[in-house]
Amino acid sequence: MGVLELKNKLLSEAAYYVFKVEDLNNPELEKERLNTCESNSKYCFDNIERRCKICTCYVDAKVRLKTNRKSITDSTVVVTHCPLGKWKIEVGSDETDKEIANHYYNLDNKKTI
Ligand code: SF4
């Protein structure tokens, strides 16, 4: 493992423990979320730092969570979701988490997707 890869892995693990409220505990869905991120690498996924370009989260940590703290300075608990509503809500489902993303955009008075 290279130095950059090790640095990103350590930061990702730190983020997991800082933001984690509840684990997803669904390896299949975690894999599906990760596949979605990785297949959008030209658009919203930074494959070198393995971070989401939209919310800046470390994706390897984020996909493992069911709920998380909103930010370092805001401990509001939110349902972990893709900020572009691209994640499937269940394995094999066509439904994505767009409604969840829009719920939080509405709460923050931001433009919905
Ligand atoms: S926008 Fe969604 S699909 Fe894209 S990297 Fe972020 S979490 Fe993954």
Mean pLDDT of 7-13: 93
Mutational test site, ligand 1, from 36, 81, 105, max ligand atoms within 8 Å of CB: 36
Task: Report the number of distinct structural domains present in the chain.
Answer: 1
pLDDT at 37 over 90: yes
3-state SS, residue 11: helix
Residue 112 lies in a domain: no
Joined together, the tokens standing for residue 26 give 């669904």
Mean pLDDT across 29-34: 97
Q: What is the pLDDT, as a whole number, of residue 41?
A: 82
Could you give phi then psi for residue 28, rounded to 5 degrees? -65, -45
22 CA to centre of own chain: 13
Backbone angles phi, psi at 67, to 5 degrees: -140, 150
Task: Identify the residue whose C-alpha is closest to ligand 1 atom 6.
Answer: 52
Report if residue 113 sits inside a domain: no
Distances (CA, A) of 6 to 13, 48, 52: 11, 12, 18
64 CA → ligand 1 middle, Å: 14
Per the domain annotation, does 101 fall within a domain?
yes
**pLDDT confidence of residue 1:** 78
* Residue 85 within any structural domain of the chain: yes
pTM for the structure as a whole? 0.94
Average pLDDT, the chain: 95
Residue range 40-94, pLDDT digits in tens:
888 999 999 999 999 999 999 999 999 999 999 999 999 999 999 999 999 999 9
Rounded to an integer, what distance in angstroms lies between the CA atom of residue 110 and that of residue 45? 22
Domain containing 28 equals 3-107
Is residue 8, in this structure, part of any structural domain at all?
Answer: yes
Q: How far apart are CA 92 and CA 67, in angstroms?
A: 21
Pocket of ligand 1 (CB under 6 A): 36-37, 40, 44-45, 52, 54, 59, 82-84, 86
Q: How confident is the model at residue 4 (pLDDT cuts 50, 70, 90)?
A: confident
Distance 73 CA to ligand 1 centre (A): 22
pLDDT at residue 27, rounded to an integer: 98
Q: What is the pLDDT of residue 42?
A: 86
Ligand 1 centroid – CA 21 distance (Å): 20
CA–chain centroid gap for 14, Å, is 15
